[in-house]
């Protein structure tokens, strides 16, 4: 299948080259600001008159290639220390502008009116910094690696949305639409050390009341702004200066904790100090150092119910591990249905049950020099929970080849400070993109573990064709019995897994349907002897409507061979044997830009030698542009010969933003399988760019009538202060 896809792409190389030539026509000449503009959200500073005006935007949705129906004006200026961007987003119906999200990195920003800019500072057609602003001044930023490749659903491991850069924005609504001003410090970005520079650049505007998406340098359907190989150019940047490129962020924490064990209360008080340091060794290389690391402000994990035989994935949320995280990615590219991530930072400083293991300190070197990308990280943890202190060393190297391809490798070493235990991973990986629609990637890896020898190899190969009309891929993974990357995420070993996926994307142009996503895929898994152990046929028809609503219907046909008993939950166990079963799922998500939005799902299914029914509901409401709430409920009803059980999981999120720099978030969750209620509340106040005050409250209660018994309760205050030199 890989050879067939590659062969089919050869006649299409000529159109790809012409598309590259067409991109050169989207160029901006950088203009130096004689004086910095005042960043107040009012685009009336006389200095903006000296900036070139970018006002020709092209639709991707709903009418690809047509001019934008609303006018957008963008102006750019720069000086030694900052890039300045001014936006005027005109709207013929300004009362119809949809903007209710105010907090930073809010989940709804991308579903509302917004303006986006991406900067490919190395002009490598692979990576970039992306900044998003809404009419209320809400902002979102993210780092992009490998153009965000990694699956069209379930997110991408090559888009780091949790990165928090230091930048400033002001915005306001006007009688003609809305406008915004952005200030992006040069010290926030990495770029080559050359006297005159050219950056890749592109802009996108979402006009949400029309569900219209427009770009300056056009991006075809199937891709988004992270497709930096299709960005335009910003030429003539001269004399850029980061100063000493040194940033110090000391922090102090303090708080109290009350724990209840067997009716006895244990009260304790804590206080600590630490330091994060960031230093630009060169224009493209950045050194981060953390001492006495603390993650008190990290968000709580969402409750999940595991009715499978394999571990669940929880995303990284700790700040130190988020920046430049994409440079350490080696493994399978999709974030949906993960097969093998060779490096998974949650294996550092967290126990198997999610308890925090003290991190004494660490350092990370990341960046680029020429066509080479470099990443090195070392972390030292302390003794905790009966496990010894450990040192983690991760080194990563890759080199760009051709226009959008690369080769590289990674070495990971986990070393116990006592007892001599170790685990090591060695891997080489590649990504080839001979055509804009074709991507071939893979890795070959070996692990080494104390007292283990033989059968420690793992490998993966994938070829994908993605276009406006088709999404087709084939992949094969071979993970031997003793393949054991302990600092990675590999749910299942001792297998050979093959998958083929085909998905056309027709556009009927009627009944309010924007695009349909019918698909079929088959996954075939054997053990290392070639014996079939799992098989899944997946049939799905997804329908996305013009207003953003989404209807999805699927059916999965499973075969599972159990060689050992499978304990589903409690004392309910499935005996060894061969099982064939299937599940239907019907789900509908409403227009996500409405003040009230919802998702409902119903899934009747057979389950091994019994039955199972899943239902879920998610209901959100934006009460004002400052206050929103979202409630979720999931129920699993399982009926097996060995027994029956029900699991209920409920959650309530509350978000209140006093301003774009101050927000209060809370998450209350209940899981009937553990009979625990948990509440996590976090107040964040950014009193100056890069400097924050956090107040965090966490509580864990048993499932008791009236909530009499509190198992754990803590209140933490954390202050960080950024000093730049």
The pLDDT of residue 211 is 92
Is pLDDT at 126 greater than 90 in this prediction? Answer: no
Q: Residue 667 is inside which H or E element, if any?
A: strand 662-671
The pLDDT of residue 21 is 53
Residue 70 placed within a domain: yes
What percent of the chain stands above pLDDT 90? 65
Q: Over 86-117, what HEC string results?
A: EEEEECCCHHHCCCCCCCCCCCCHHHCCEEEE
Average pLDDT of the chain is: 88
The pLDDT of residue 370 is 86
Q: How far apart are CA 647 and CA 673, in angstroms?
A: 6
CA distances from 684 to 245, 317, 523, 656, 711 (A): 26, 15, 44, 11, 26
Q: How far apart are CA 572 and CA 583, in angstroms?
A: 20
Whether the Cβ atoms of residue 149 and residue 333 lie closer than 8 Å to each other: yes
Is pLDDT at 11 greater than 50 in this prediction? Answer: no
Is pLDDT at 335 greater than 70 in this prediction? Answer: no
Q: How far apart are CA 260 and CA 676, in angstroms?
A: 14
Instruction: With cut-offs at 50, 70 and 90, classify the pLDDT of residue 570.
Output: confident
- Any residues with CB less than 8 A from the CB of 665 and at least 6 apart, and which? 103, 299, 653, 654, 655, 656, 681, 682, 684
The pLDDT of residue 316 is 76
Residue range 571-609, pLDDT digits in tens? 999 999 999 999 999 999 999 888 899 999 999 999 999
Which residue in 170, 157, 178, 167 sits closest to 226, CA to CA? 157
| E runs forming strands in 208-316 | 212-215, 232-238, 246-261, 264-280, 285-293
User: Locate tokens 């004006």: which residue?
Assistant: 73
The pLDDT of residue 703 is 61
CATH code of the domain in which 131 resides: 2.60.40.1190
Whether the Cβ atoms of residue 498 and residue 523 lie closer than 8 Å to each other: yes
Whether the Cβ atoms of residue 205 and residue 115 lie closer than 8 Å to each other: yes
Is pLDDT at 700 greater than 90 in this prediction? Answer: no
Overall size of the chain counted in residues: 725
Residue range 632-659, pLDDT digits in tens? 999 999 999 999 999 999 999 999 988 8
Q: What is the mean pLDDT of residues 119-140?
A: 93
Q: What is the mean pLDDT of residues 530-554?
A: 96
The pLDDT of residue 403 is 82
Q: What is the CA radius of gyration of the chain?
A: 26
Residue 297 placed within a domain: no
Is pLDDT at 315 greater than 80 in this prediction? Answer: no
Longest dimension (CA), the chain: 78
The pLDDT of residue 1 is 39
Q: How far apart are CA 709 and CA 447, in angstroms?
A: 46
Residue scoring higher pLDDT (310 or 67): 67
Instruction: With cut-offs at 50, 70 and 90, classify the pLDDT of residue 23.
Output: low
Instruction: With cut-offs at 50, 70 and 90, classify the pLDDT of residue 151.
Output: very low
The pLDDT of residue 297 is 65
Is pLDDT at 41 greater than 90 in this prediction? Answer: yes
Instruction: With cut-offs at 50, 70 and 90, classify the pLDDT of residue 157.
Output: low
Q: Whole-model pTM?
A: 0.84
Q: Which domain holds residue 20?
A: 2-238
What percent of the chain stands above pLDDT 70? 92
Residue range 176-189, pLDDT digits in tens? 999 999 999 998 99
Is pLDDT at 18 greater than 70 in this prediction? Answer: no
Whether the Cβ atoms of residue 163 and residue 323 lie closer than 8 Å to each other: yes
Residue scoring higher pLDDT (403 or 13): 403
Residue scoring higher pLDDT (266 or 51): 51
Is pLDDT at 158 greater than 50 in this prediction? Answer: yes
Residue scoring higher pLDDT (195 or 709): 195
Number of domains in the chain: 1
Instruction: With cut-offs at 50, 70 and 90, classify the pLDDT of residue 159.
Output: confident
Residue 370 placed within a domain: no
What is the SS3 assignment for 187?
helix
CA distances from 599 to 193, 272, 325, 548 (A): 49, 43, 31, 12
- Any residues with CB less than 8 A from the CB of 199 and at least 6 apart, and which? 119, 120, 121, 123, 191, 233, 234, 237
Q: How far apart are CA 278 and CA 246, in angstroms?
A: 6
Q: What is the mean pLDDT of residues 210-237?
A: 93
Residue 48 placed within a domain: yes
Q: How far apart are CA 360 and CA 419, in angstroms?
A: 20
What is the SS3 assignment for 351?
coil
Instruction: With cut-offs at 50, 70 and 90, classify the pLDDT of residue 12.
Output: very low
Whether the Cβ atoms of residue 381 and residue 390 lie closer than 8 Å to each other: yes
Residue 224 placed within a domain: yes
Burial grade of 47 (CB within 10 A; 0-12, 13-18, 19 or more): middle
Is pLDDT at 373 greater than 50 in this prediction? Answer: yes
Whether the Cβ atoms of residue 378 and residue 365 lie closer than 8 Å to each other: no
Q: What is the mean pLDDT of residues 664-691?
A: 91
Residue scoring higher pLDDT (25 or 444): 444
Residue 222 placed within a domain: yes
Instruction: With cut-offs at 50, 70 and 90, classify the pLDDT of residue 10.
Output: very low
The pLDDT of residue 242 is 77
Residue scoring higher pLDDT (318 or 568): 568
Residue 40 placed within a domain: yes
Instruction: With cut-offs at 50, 70 and 90, classify the pLDDT of residue 709.
Output: low
Structure tokens at 217: 């340098």
Structure tokens at 117: 């800019």
Q: What is the mean pLDDT of residues 314-321?
A: 76
Residue 17 placed within a domain: yes
The pLDDT of residue 16 is 40
| E runs forming strands in 528-642 | 532-545, 550-562, 566-569, 572-574, 577-589, 596-607, 610-622, 627-640
């Amino acid at each position: 299948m890989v050879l067939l896809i590659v062969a089919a792409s050869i006649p299409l190389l000529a159109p790809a080259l012409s598309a590259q030539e067409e991109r050169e026509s989207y160029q901006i000449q950088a203009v130096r600001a004689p004086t910095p503009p005042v960043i107040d959200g009012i685009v009336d500073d006389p200095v903006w008159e000296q900036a070139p005006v970018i006002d020709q935007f092209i639709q991707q949705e709903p009418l690809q290639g047509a001019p934008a129906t609303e006018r957008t004006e963008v102006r750019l200026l720069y000086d030694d220390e900052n890039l300045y961007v001014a936006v005027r987003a005109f709207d013929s119906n300004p009362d119809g502008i949809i903007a209710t999200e105010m907090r930073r990195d809010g989940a709804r920003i991308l579903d509302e009116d917004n303006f986006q800019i991406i900067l490919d500072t190395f002009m490598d057609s692979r990576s970039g910094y992306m900044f998003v602003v809404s009419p209320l001044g809400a902002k979102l930023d993210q780092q992009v690696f490998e153009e965000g490749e990694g699956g069209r659903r379930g997110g991408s491991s090559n888009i780091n949305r949790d990165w928090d850069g230091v930048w400033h924005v002001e915005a306001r609504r006007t009688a003609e639409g809305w406008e915004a001003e952005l200030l992006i410090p040069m010290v926030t970005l990495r770029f080559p050390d050359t006297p005159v520079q050219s950056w890749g650049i592109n802009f996108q505007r979402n006009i949400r009341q029309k569900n219209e998406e427009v770009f300056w340098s056009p991006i075809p359907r199937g891709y988004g702004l992270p497709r930096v190989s299709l960005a335009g150019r910003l030429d003539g940047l001269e004399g850029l200066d980061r100063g000493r490129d040194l940033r110090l962020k000391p922090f102090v924490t303090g708080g109290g904790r009350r724990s209840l064990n067997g009716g006895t209360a244990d009260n304790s008080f804590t206080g600590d100090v630490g330091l994060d340091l960031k230093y630009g060794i060169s224009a493209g290389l950045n050194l981060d150092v953390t001492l006495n690391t603390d993650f008190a402000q990290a968000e709580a994990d969402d409750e999940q119910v595991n009715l499978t035989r394999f571990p669940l994935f929880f995303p990284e949320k700790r700040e130190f591990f988020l920046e430049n995280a994409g440079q350490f990615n080696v493994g399978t590219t999709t974030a949906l249905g993960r097969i093998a991530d060779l490096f998974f930072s949650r294996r550092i400083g967290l126990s198997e049950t999610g308890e925090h293991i003290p991190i004494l300190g660490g350092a990370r070197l990341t960046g680029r020099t020429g066509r080479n990308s470099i990443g090195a990280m070392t972390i030292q943890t302390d003794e905790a929970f009966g496990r010894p202190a450990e040192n983690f060393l991760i080194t990563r190297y890759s080199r760009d080849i051709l226009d959008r391809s690369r080769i590289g490798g990674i070495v990971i070493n986990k070393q116990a400070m006592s007892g001599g235990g170790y685990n090591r991973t060695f891997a080489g990986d590649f990504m080839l993109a001979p055509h804009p629609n074709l991507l071939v990637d893979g890795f070959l890896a070996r692990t080494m573990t104390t007292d283990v020898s033989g059968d420690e190899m793992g490998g993966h190969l994938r070829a994908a064709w993605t276009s406006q009309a088709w999404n087709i891929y084939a992949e094969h993974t071979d993970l031997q019995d003793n393949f054991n990357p302990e600092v990675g995420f590999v749910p299942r070993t001792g297998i050979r897994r093959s998958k083929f996926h085909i998905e056309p994307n027709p556009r009927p142009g009627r009944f309010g349907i924007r695009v349909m996503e019918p698909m079929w895929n088959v996954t075939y898994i054997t053990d290392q002897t070639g014996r079939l152990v799992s098989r899944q046929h997946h049939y799905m028809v997804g329908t996305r409507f013009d207003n953003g609503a989404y209807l999805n219907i699927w059916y999965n046909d499973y075969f599972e061979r159990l060689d050992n008993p499978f304990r589903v939950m409690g004392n309910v166990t499935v005996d060894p044997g061969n099982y064939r079963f299937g599940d239907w799922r019907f789900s509908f998500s409403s227009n996500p830009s409405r003040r009230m939005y919802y998702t409902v799902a119903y899934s009747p299914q057979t389950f091994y030698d019994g039955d199972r029914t899943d239902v879920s509901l998610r209901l959100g409401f934006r009460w004002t542009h400052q206050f929103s709430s979202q409630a979720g409920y999931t129920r699993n009803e399982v009926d097996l010969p060995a027994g029956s059980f029900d699991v209920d999981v409920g959650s309530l999120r509350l978000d209140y933003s006093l301003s774009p720099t101050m927000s209060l978030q809370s998450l209350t969750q209940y899981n009937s399988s553990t009979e625990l209620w948990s509440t996590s509340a976090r107040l964040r106040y950014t009193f100056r760019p890069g400097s924050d005050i956090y107040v965090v409250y966490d509580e864990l209660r048993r499932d008791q009538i009236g909530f009499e018994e509190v198992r754990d309760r803590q209140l933490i205050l954390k202050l960080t202060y950024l000093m730049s030199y």
